[in-house]
Amino acid sequence: MAKYVCDVCGWIYDEEAGYPEGNIAAGTKWADVPADFVCPLCGVDKSQFSLVEE
Ligand SMILES: [Zn+2]
């Protein structure tokens, strides 16, 4: 499971946790998050997110 960070505001999408508030189930791969997903904090699209290296 990976994490992706919004390059604009730093909000993190964690594949393990999903984003239930946005109807994205826990365990949803970033690739499977809908293309129209936007950052909950700042509203940018998926292209503005980067893989978090751990
Ligand atoms: Zn953001």
pLDDT tens digits along 25-49: 999 999 999 999 999 999 999 999 9
| CB-side neighbour CA atoms (13 Å) of 13 | 31
- Whole-number Å distance between alpha carbons of 18 and 22: 9
Identify the pLDDT of residue 23: 96
Overall domain count for the chain: 1
Chain position carrying tokens 């980067």: 50
Tell me, in angstroms, the distance from the centre of ligand 1 to residue 39's CA.
5
Tell me, in angstroms, the distance from the centre of ligand 1 to residue 5's CA.
8
Identify the pLDDT of residue 12: 98
pTM: 0.93
Q: 47: domain CATH number?
A: 2.20.28.10
Statement: residue 54 has pLDDT above 80 = no
Tell me, in angstroms, the distance from the centre of ligand 1 to residue 10's CA.
6
